[in-house]
Amino acid sequence: SLFAYIHDVGRPRVGNGQYHWAVFIAGGANMADALGKHILVELYECDRDILNAHETIKDLMVGAAKAAKATVVTVDFHMFNPYGVSGAVIIAESHLTIHTWPELGYAAVDMFTCGDTCNPHIGMDVLGAALKAGTLNVTEVQRGNLRNLHPAAQQQLAATG
Protein backbone atom coordinates (compact mmCIF):
# COMPACT_ATOMS: atom_id res chain seq x y z
CA SER A 1 0.00 0.00 0.00
CA LEU A 2 1.05 3.60 -0.47
CA PHE A 3 0.70 6.07 2.37
CA ALA A 4 0.67 9.76 1.58
CA TYR A 5 1.07 12.56 4.07
CA ILE A 6 0.46 16.02 2.67
CA HIS A 7 1.40 19.06 4.68
CA ASP A 8 0.77 22.58 3.44
CA VAL A 9 2.99 24.95 5.37
CA GLY A 10 1.54 27.89 3.47
CA ARG A 11 3.89 30.80 3.92
CA PRO A 12 7.24 29.84 4.09
CA ARG A 13 10.65 28.96 4.29
CA VAL A 14 11.18 30.57 0.86
CA GLY A 15 10.69 34.31 0.47
CA ASN A 16 7.02 35.24 0.33
CA GLY A 17 5.97 32.26 -1.76
CA GLN A 18 4.05 29.09 -1.06
CA TYR A 19 5.65 25.83 0.07
CA HIS A 20 3.70 22.60 -0.26
CA TRP A 21 5.12 19.30 0.98
CA ALA A 22 3.91 15.73 0.50
CA VAL A 23 5.56 12.56 1.80
CA PHE A 24 4.94 9.23 0.09
CA ILE A 25 6.01 6.18 2.03
CA ALA A 26 5.94 2.91 0.10
CA GLY A 27 4.63 -0.05 2.06
CA GLY A 28 4.20 1.98 5.25
CA ALA A 29 7.96 2.46 5.72
CA ASN A 30 9.34 5.35 7.68
CA MET A 31 12.75 6.95 7.24
CA ALA A 32 14.33 4.41 9.60
CA ASP A 33 13.08 1.69 7.23
CA ALA A 34 14.38 3.30 4.03
CA LEU A 35 17.73 3.62 2.28
CA GLY A 36 17.12 7.23 1.32
CA LYS A 37 14.93 10.27 0.69
CA HIS A 38 14.01 11.40 -2.80
CA ILE A 39 12.78 14.99 -2.87
CA LEU A 40 10.91 16.01 -6.04
CA VAL A 41 10.44 19.77 -6.32
CA GLU A 42 8.41 21.86 -8.73
CA LEU A 43 9.35 25.55 -8.59
CA TYR A 44 6.90 28.02 -10.10
CA GLU A 45 7.06 31.77 -10.75
CA CYS A 46 10.88 31.75 -10.78
CA ASP A 47 13.11 34.50 -12.13
CA ARG A 48 13.24 33.77 -15.88
CA ASP A 49 16.69 35.28 -16.40
CA ILE A 50 18.19 33.12 -13.66
CA LEU A 51 16.52 30.00 -15.11
CA ASN A 52 18.26 30.64 -18.42
CA ALA A 53 21.73 31.32 -17.00
CA HIS A 54 23.82 28.15 -17.40
CA GLU A 55 26.67 29.01 -15.01
CA THR A 56 24.33 30.52 -12.44
CA ILE A 57 22.13 27.42 -12.38
CA LYS A 58 25.22 25.24 -12.01
CA ASP A 59 26.51 27.37 -9.12
CA LEU A 60 23.09 27.43 -7.43
CA MET A 61 22.73 23.64 -7.65
CA VAL A 62 26.20 23.10 -6.19
CA GLY A 63 25.31 25.64 -3.49
CA ALA A 64 22.08 23.75 -2.73
CA ALA A 65 24.04 20.50 -2.37
CA LYS A 66 26.52 22.14 -0.01
CA ALA A 67 23.75 23.81 2.02
CA ALA A 68 22.23 20.35 2.47
CA LYS A 69 25.63 19.19 3.80
CA ALA A 70 26.12 16.86 0.82
CA THR A 71 29.54 15.98 -0.59
CA VAL A 72 29.85 17.12 -4.24
CA VAL A 73 31.63 14.60 -6.47
CA THR A 74 31.09 16.02 -9.98
CA VAL A 75 28.75 18.25 -12.01
CA ASP A 76 27.50 18.30 -15.61
CA PHE A 77 25.19 20.97 -17.07
CA HIS A 78 23.90 21.72 -20.56
CA MET A 79 22.44 24.91 -22.07
CA PHE A 80 19.65 24.33 -24.59
CA ASN A 81 18.92 26.48 -27.63
CA PRO A 82 16.98 28.74 -27.56
CA TYR A 83 16.60 28.47 -23.77
CA GLY A 84 16.66 26.14 -20.76
CA VAL A 85 19.27 24.43 -18.66
CA SER A 86 19.54 20.81 -17.56
CA GLY A 87 22.12 19.46 -15.22
CA ALA A 88 23.18 17.04 -12.54
CA VAL A 89 25.24 17.33 -9.40
CA ILE A 90 26.54 13.94 -8.34
CA ILE A 91 27.00 13.79 -4.59
CA ALA A 92 28.53 11.06 -2.43
CA GLU A 93 25.02 10.60 -1.00
CA SER A 94 23.43 10.27 -4.52
CA HIS A 95 22.39 13.21 -6.81
CA LEU A 96 20.56 16.46 -7.60
CA THR A 97 19.12 17.21 -11.04
CA ILE A 98 17.37 20.19 -12.63
CA HIS A 99 15.61 21.11 -15.85
CA THR A 100 14.46 24.69 -16.41
CA TRP A 101 11.76 26.22 -18.59
CA PRO A 102 12.70 29.93 -18.47
CA GLU A 103 9.89 30.87 -20.82
CA LEU A 104 7.42 29.53 -18.22
CA GLY A 105 9.25 30.58 -15.06
CA TYR A 106 9.35 26.91 -14.04
CA ALA A 107 12.00 24.45 -12.88
CA ALA A 108 11.79 20.75 -12.04
CA VAL A 109 14.37 19.60 -9.49
CA ASP A 110 15.07 16.42 -7.58
CA MET A 111 17.50 15.50 -4.83
CA PHE A 112 18.08 11.91 -3.74
CA THR A 113 20.08 11.39 -0.56
CA CYS A 114 21.07 8.22 1.22
CA GLY A 115 21.90 8.09 4.90
CA ASP A 116 21.31 10.81 7.43
CA THR A 117 24.31 13.10 6.96
CA CYS A 118 22.52 15.65 4.80
CA ASN A 119 19.11 17.33 4.69
CA PRO A 120 17.72 17.73 1.16
CA HIS A 121 14.95 20.07 2.35
CA ILE A 122 17.54 22.67 3.36
CA GLY A 123 19.11 22.46 -0.10
CA MET A 124 15.74 22.92 -1.77
CA ASP A 125 14.89 25.89 0.47
CA VAL A 126 18.16 27.57 -0.51
CA LEU A 127 17.58 26.82 -4.21
CA GLY A 128 13.97 28.05 -4.12
CA ALA A 129 15.05 31.35 -2.56
CA ALA A 130 17.88 31.78 -5.08
CA LEU A 131 15.53 31.15 -8.02
CA LYS A 132 13.02 33.59 -6.47
CA ALA A 133 10.32 30.92 -6.67
CA GLY A 134 6.78 32.05 -5.88
CA THR A 135 5.61 28.49 -5.16
CA LEU A 136 7.39 25.24 -4.38
CA ASN A 137 5.59 21.91 -4.53
CA VAL A 138 7.71 19.32 -2.74
CA THR A 139 7.10 15.58 -2.77
CA GLU A 140 9.25 13.34 -0.61
CA VAL A 141 9.50 9.67 -1.46
CA GLN A 142 11.15 7.21 0.90
CA ARG A 143 13.32 5.00 -1.33
CA GLY A 144 14.54 1.47 -0.72
CA ASN A 145 12.10 0.03 1.80
CA LEU A 146 14.41 -2.15 3.89
CA ARG A 147 11.60 -4.56 4.77
CA ASN A 148 11.33 -5.48 1.08
CA LEU A 149 14.99 -6.49 0.77
CA HIS A 150 15.90 -10.16 0.53
CA PRO A 151 16.79 -11.53 4.01
CA ALA A 152 20.44 -12.00 2.97
CA ALA A 153 20.61 -8.33 1.92
CA GLN A 154 19.01 -7.29 5.22
CA GLN A 155 21.67 -9.29 7.10
CA GLN A 156 24.46 -7.71 5.06
CA LEU A 157 23.07 -4.24 5.71
CA ALA A 158 22.79 -4.95 9.44
CA ALA A 159 26.40 -6.17 9.50
CA THR A 160 27.72 -3.04 7.79
CA GLY A 161 25.55 -0.75 9.92
Among the listed residues 20, 54, 95, 99, the single catalytic one is 99
Share of the chain above pLDDT 70, in %: 80
Beta strands in 2-60 (DSSP E): 2-8, 18-26, 34-44
Does 46 participate in catalysis according to the annotation? no
Would residue 118 show up in a list of annotated catalytic residues for this protein? no
Q: Is 130 exposed, middle or buried (0-12, 13-18, 19+ CB in 10 A)?
A: buried
CB 80 within 8 Å of CB 103: no
**Residue 10: pLDDT band by 50, 70, 90 thresholds?**
very low
Question: Which neighbouring-strand residues pair with 137?
Answer: 20, 42
Lowest-confidence range among 104-108, 109-113, 155-159? 155-159
pLDDT at 144: 79
CA atoms within 13 A on the CB side of 3: 9
pLDDT tens across 41-73, in order?
Answer: 999 999 999 999 999 999 999 999 999 999 999
Phi, psi of 48 (to 5 degrees): -70, -35
Examine the residue annotation and report whether 78 is marked as an active-site residue of this protein.
Answer: no
Instruction: Check 38, 46, 94, 121 and give the catalytic one.
Output: 94
Alpha carbons 161 and 150: distance in angstroms, whole number: 16
Q: Which of 114, 118, 121, 150 is catalytic?
A: 114
Convert the pLDDT of each residue in 76-97 to its tens digit. Answer: 999 999 999 999 999 999 999 9
